[in-house]
Amino acid sequence: MPALKRTLSVDLHGLVVPTPVMIASGCAGTGRELSGLVDVRKVGAVVSRSITFEPERGSPTPRIAESAAGVVWSTGLQNPGVDAFVAQELPRLAKGGTPVIVSISGGTLEDFVRLTGALQGRPEVSGLEINMSGRDLELGREVLGEHVDRATEVAGAVARMSLVPVFAKLPVHAPSLAEIARGAVRAGVTGLTIGAPPPALAVGVERLRPELGGVTGWLSGPAVKPIMLRSVFEVARAVPEVPVIASGGIRSGDDAVEAMLAGAWAVQVGTATLVDPAAPVAVAQGIARYLKQKGMASPTELRARLHIPAAYATAESTEAAE
């Protein structure tokens, strides 16, 4: 039997990453914090914190509180604005040669268009990730990405303009997520990140106050993994030819394998990086170990390999027909 040529590299329709493990948005710092703690060159890609067009000072403290197997947090999108980001952070993030995906966030269509323009043609940018968790200032909605009409509109505008692959990060908890995913894909995005964390509240009973200065925040960490898995599963079945990146509660190789079996092409590691800065590399090693054990050559062999009972598949198609 010829020796198996094993690789961790994955092609996300134009964005080729050396390993299928990325650092999630908001957990990679500004390009110097991780040096000495992890070899960033061994990370598949780094997603920047979410960048807005204008500088954003962020929400009052406290900004983080623990909950069972997770954290409730909100930074209020603190960032220096796209100009300062491009001048200072971006070159540092890209220095090691790791692909950099820039997360962009806004409240209006114009915000997203201007951000895409400002990042256009920057050689350090390997991809864009659209953060759709912000308020929709034009339609006065709480979360822009929860609605198929706007998610499609924003995704389409960014995808048409961008010269690099675009990933729409959809809210992991959105109702009719499959429909939103189809809309974003029709509008031209390269892939989908599933997903943005669900909104959350932490309460301090002693002080009769919310634990966060910004009152509500987002739930991240292992607590959200099962929700993420189901959403990845649903989206991957809705748009089977489209790269899906799983994000939510992944901290080990096994977690990543679970997400890939559910349909993910790659994964992002967020909260686990805050606890163990070397976690993204450990997750990749865990995937490699699993592949070796199963005699598989590449992570693509894991993709959507979950065995679904025939009855489930049939029931679903009947439901859809009704």
Partner 1 sequence: MKRVRAEVLSTRKVGAYHSLTLVAPEIAEKARPGQFLAVAMPEGREFLLRRHFAIHQASRRGGWAGTLEIVVDPTGPGTEWLTGVRAHGSLEVIGPLGTAFAYPKRLTNCLLIAEGHGAASVYFLAQELLARHKRVDMVVGGETLDRVFKPIEGKRLSTTISILTADGTLGEAGPLMQAVPEMVERTSTEVVYAAARSRTLGDVAAFCRDRKLPAQVAVEERMGCGFGLCQTCVVPVARKDGSGYDHVRSCVDGPVFNPARIVWDRWLADEATTASAPGEGLPMVQSWPG
Give me the residues that bind partner 1 (CB under 8 A), please. 26-30, 32-34, 36-37, 49, 57-58, 60-66, 68-71, 73, 75, 78, 204, 206-213, 221-222, 271, 273-278
- Cβ proximity to partner 1, 20 vs 221, nearer residue: 221
Q: Are 287 and 255 in contact (CB under 8 A)?
A: no
Rounded CA gap, 65 and 316, in Å? 39
Count of beta carbons in the 10 Å neighbourhood of residue 261 = 17
CB of 139 to partner 1, least distance (A): 28
**In sequence order, what are the beta bridge partners of 168?**
130, 192
CB of 96 to partner 1, least distance (A): 16
- Cβ proximity to partner 1, 33 vs 149, nearer residue: 33
* Percent helix, percent strand, percent coil in the chain, to nearest 5: 35, 20, 40
Q: Are 80 and 55 in contact (CB under 8 A)?
A: yes
CB of 17 to partner 1, least distance (A): 20
CB of 66 to partner 1, least distance (A): 6
- Cβ proximity to partner 1, 49 vs 147, nearer residue: 49
- Cβ proximity to partner 1, 35 vs 298, nearer residue: 35
CB of 285 to partner 1, least distance (A): 16
Nearest C-alpha neighbor of 304 from the set 258, 273, 270: 258
- Cβ proximity to partner 1, 178 vs 274, nearer residue: 274
Burial class (CB in 10 A: 0-12, 13-18, 19+), 319: exposed
- Cβ proximity to partner 1, 3 vs 208, nearer residue: 208
Please tell me whether residue 181 adopts helix, strand or coil conformation.
helix
CB of 299 to partner 1, least distance (A): 25
Amino acid (1-letter code) at residue 108: T
Phi, psi dihedrals of residue 308, rounded to the nearest 5°: -100, 130
